[in-house]
Copies of this chain bind each other. A is one copy, B any other.
Amino acid sequence: MSSIYIQPDFTTEGGATLHDVPIAYRTWGHLNAAGTNAVLVGHALTGDADLGAWWQDLIGPGQALDPEQDFVICANVPGSPYGSVSPVTTNPSTGAPYGADFPAFTIRDTVALHRHLLDALGVRRVRCAIGGSMGGMQVLEWAFERTDAGAPLVERLVPIAVGGRHTPWQIGWSEAQRQAIYADSKWRSGAYPPEDPPTDGLAAARTMAMVSYRSHTSFQRRFGRQRQSENGMPKNGTADAPFAVQSYLRYHGQKLVDRFDARCYVQLTQQMDTHDVSRNRGAYPDVLQQIEQPALVVGIDSDVLYPLAEQDELAAHLPNADLQVLASPHGHDAFLIEQEALNALIVQWKNAHVASATAR
């Protein structure tokens, strides 16, 4: 079910207040009478609320997300062009899209905004919050949400391919991508008209991102030095006889342009850069120690962008965490590619945890 909830008012950490704030979301299964069987899923940078389209192997009876048991909720992130409030939605104060006036959102803002949705849906406790990459950042922020009675709102956490704060490595990748967008003169400091967006810059940013999501090994296995044409020699110019990997990257750059917005891309990469569970909460290791929920931390052994060291660090500091490594050549994207293996890891952990909780 695809729906929109309108939050009457919302104020960001940075102090911007928005009115009539849409949150696009989807749900699977039914909330129980006590409101205690919700499972939250966070999507990644260019993802949306329709997890059936990108995590199809994780949802179904007996899977990590089980609509027969769980009330599964996936809400679109503010800043994303897939229905929640963003640069492309209408600012009720002006009647025009927010555009360049869209305020900065933090990962914490996203969780605070989505909390209003949970309250509106009648959710009183969340069994588990699960997400990879940007979705994993939300999982770690959900850890700090409390019920009215002061208990943790979310009972279990599954952060995947992420760390407790965006590191300068990830900020560097983000910044390089943003610079590619800014280099497109159609960017116009973000104040471009909807009919003339900086598509070349956005495509270049996506090209860069696609490299970061994969690995040396995966590209080698898939493309080698194959060329699209018979001619093994480069010709003068830029477009002749491209390598297969070039064609692949260009294709994905163009494909994103058809479904995404450059301001949203800038907004969301900046939002990811704000990710730091320790901000205003104390010293980083101490703050991780406060996350007492059982957590399954999943890392990918070939992840260049969020390397295993970050999940090692999380698992070392979270007092009640298990670390599982997804073995894959595919790099960061493995959390979207190796769905069967990921699902098995989560199901196994969930079953073990439920068993031990029952035994207590």
Q: How far is the CA of A208 from the CA of B180 in the complex (A)?
A: 9
- Closest Cβ of chain B to A171, distance in Å, is 5
Q: How far is the CB of A174 from chain B (nearest CB, A)?
A: 9
Question: B233 and A168: CB pair below 8 A?
Answer: no
Q: In A213-243, which residues have CB < 8 Å from any B CB?
A: 214-217, 219-220, 222-225, 232-238, 243
Choose one: B165, B225, B249; the contact of A176 (CB below 8 Å). B249
Q: Which of B102, B204, B215 contacts A183 (CB 8 A)?
A: B204
Check if B168 sits within 8 Å of A243, measured CB to CB: yes
A244, B167: Cα distance in complex, Å: 11
| B171 in contact with A245 (CB, 8 Å) | yes
Contact between chains at A211 and B176 (CB < 8 Å): yes
Instruction: Tell me whether A245 and B104 are in contact in the complex, defined as CB-CB below 8 angstroms, given that A180-B204, A186-B185 are known contacts.
Output: no
Select which of B175, B180, B186, B225 is within 8 A of A246 by beta carbon.
Answer: B175
B274 touches A234 (CB 8 A): yes
Contact between B168 and A225, CB atoms less than 8 A apart: yes
Give how many A residues have a beta carbon under 8 Å from the other chain's beta carbons.
72
Q: Does A68 contact B (CB under 8 A)?
A: no
**A169 CB contacts on chain B under 8 angstroms:** 211, 215-216, 219-220
A250 to B171, CA, bound (A): 12
Cross-chain contact A236 with B168 (CB below 8 angstroms): no
Does A14 sit at the interface, judged by CB under 8 A?
Answer: yes
A183-B203, A225-B276, A307-B216 in contact; A233/B178 too (CB < 8 A)?
Answer: no
Is A236 a contact of B175 with CB atoms below 8 Å?
no
Q: How far is the CB of A61 from chain B (nearest CB, A)?
A: 39
A243 and B211 contacting across the interface, CB-CB below 8 Å: no
Can you sample 26 A-B contacts with CB below 8 Å? A14-B233, A14-B234, A14-B236, A100-B237, A103-B236, A104-B235, A167-B220, A167-B225, A168-B224, A168-B225, A172-B219, A175-B245, A175-B246, A176-B207, A179-B180, A179-B204, A180-B208, A183-B203, A183-B204, A184-B185, A185-B185, A208-B208, A216-B309, A225-B276, A233-B274, A304-B304
- Chain A contact residues, CB within 8 Å of chain B: 13-14, 16, 100-104, 106, 165-169, 171-173, 175-176, 178-186, 189-190, 198, 200-201, 203-204, 207-208, 210-211, 214-217, 219-220, 222-225, 232-238, 243-246, 249-250, 253, 266, 270, 273-274, 276, 279, 304, 307, 309
- Closest 8 pairs (CB-CB, A-B): A168-B245, A183-B200, A179-B204, A168-B223, A168-B219, A176-B208, A180-B180, A169-B216
